[in-house]
């Protein structure tokens, strides 16, 4: 029997404590090494007996959930979504740098929201208003226009036809150790650890690939 091709946890590009004082090392460690890894492990378990889908990318799986065998659709949606969302979340953060969006991403943010400040306010409000667990996203449409979207649980924006630029995890596990119930403080501080260079690359990718 051929070996199973497994999805993998993307390693952190920075030490656990690199996001301090905004996100504490313990939260990053548990969130990345336990929560994120569990989604990846469960996705691999769901696909264990379905070798033909192991070669699909996460994006392809999540955009085509309805094409999968019914008995694994929910597991792939939830755990594939968890794997995808956490991979992106950890990759678009980095040590605080006091940077802002530049180039095409800056222009698109100004066009869509008026200014970077106005974008942060609208995005923060959207993240705060997400009822229960989920995410707030900055996404690009096919023409490169930017929108803010929310998803619940581990849903992604991929089946909606949007290309993700950044996202914030507002599950309690993302902030509870340091912030307890104070989601608003976590969101406000989170902007300090967004790596806008990475976000810019993500947006450039959205403009290049047909979505
Ligand atoms: Fe999470």
pLDDT at residue 4, as a whole number: 77
Q: What is the CATH T-level fold of the domain 103-208, as seen in this structure?
A: minor pseudopilin epsh fold (3.55.40)
CA of 18 to the centre of ligand 1 (A): 18
Please determine, for residue 175, whether its predicted confidence score (pLDDT) is greater than 80.
yes
The DSSP letter of residue 21 is T
Ligand 1 centre from 161 Cα, in Å?
22
Residue 37 CA, ligand 1 centroid: distance in Å: 10
Q: What is the pLDDT of residues 153-170, one digit of tens each?
A: 999 999 999 999 999 999
Q: How many CB atoms lie within 10 A of CB 21?
A: 10
Return the percentage of the chain with pLDDT > 70, whole number: 98
The rounded Å distance from CA 45 to ligand 1 centre is 19
DSSP letter string, 110-166: HHHHSSHHHHHHHHHHHHHH--SSEEEEEEE-TTS-EEEEEEETT--SGGGT-EEEE
The residues spanned by each domain of the chain are 24-91, 103-208
pLDDT at 46: 98
Element (DSSP H or E) covering residue 169: strand 163-169
> Right CATH number for 24-91 from 3.30.70.20, 1.20.1250.20, 3.40.250.10, 1.10.287.990?
1.10.287.990
Distance 127 CA to ligand 1 centre (A): 14
**Which residues have CB atoms below 5 A from the ion given as ligand 1?**
169, 171, 174
What is the Å distance from ligand 1's center to 111 Cα? 30
Say how many Å lie between the CA of residue 32 and the centre of ligand 1: 8
pLDDT at 207: 96
User: What is the C-alpha to C-alpha distance for residues 87 and 37, in angstroms, rounded to an integer?
Assistant: 10
How many angstroms does the Cα of residue 172 sit away from the middle of ligand 1? 8
Residue pLDDT, tens place only, 32-76: 999 999 999 999 999 999 999 999 999 999 999 999 999 999 999
Mean model confidence pLDDT for the chain:
96
85 C-alpha to center of ligand 1: Å? 8
How far does residue 88's CA lie from ligand 1's centre (Å)?
11
**Residue 171 clears pLDDT 60, i.e. is over it:** yes
**CB distance 44 to 7 below 8 Å:** yes
Cα of 42 from ligand 1 centre, angstroms: 15
pLDDT at 18: 98
| Distance from residue 39's CA to the centre of ligand 1 (Å) | 10
Q: Give the pLDDT confidence score for residue 196 in this predicted structure.
A: 98
Q: Residue 2 C-alpha to ligand 1 middle, in angstroms? A: 32
The per-residue pLDDT for 169 is 98
Residue 74: both structure tokens together: 């929910």
pLDDT at 5: 80
Q: What is the pLDDT of residues 113-144, one digit of tens each?
A: 999 999 999 999 999 999 999 999 999 999 99
């Amino acid at each position: 029997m051929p070996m199973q091709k497994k999805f993998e946890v993307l390693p952190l590009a920075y030490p656990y404590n690199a996001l301090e004082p905004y996100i504490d090392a313990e939260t990053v460690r548990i969130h990345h090494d336990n929560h994120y890894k569990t989604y990846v492990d469960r996705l691999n378990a769901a696909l264990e007996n379905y070798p033909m889908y192991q070669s699909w990318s996460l994006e392809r799986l999540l955009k085509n959930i309805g094409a999968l065998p019914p008995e694994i659709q929910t597991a792939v949606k939830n755990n594939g979504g968890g794997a995808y969302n956490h991979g992106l979340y950890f990759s678009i953060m980095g040590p605080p740098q006091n940077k802002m969006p530049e180039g095409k991403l800056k222009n698109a943010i100004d066009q869509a929201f008026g200014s970077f400040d106005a974008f942060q306010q609208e995005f923060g409000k959207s993240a705060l208003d997400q009822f229960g667990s989920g995410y707030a996203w900055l996404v690009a449409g096919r023409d490169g226009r930017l929108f803010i979207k929310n998803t619940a649980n581990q849903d992604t924006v991929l089946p909606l036809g949007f290309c993700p630029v950044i996202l914030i995890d507002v599950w309690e596990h993302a902030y509870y150790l340091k912030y307890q119930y104070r989601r608003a403080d976590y969101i406000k501080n989170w902007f300090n650890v967004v790596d806008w260079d990475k976000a810019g690359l993500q947006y450039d990718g959205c403009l290049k690939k047909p979505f």
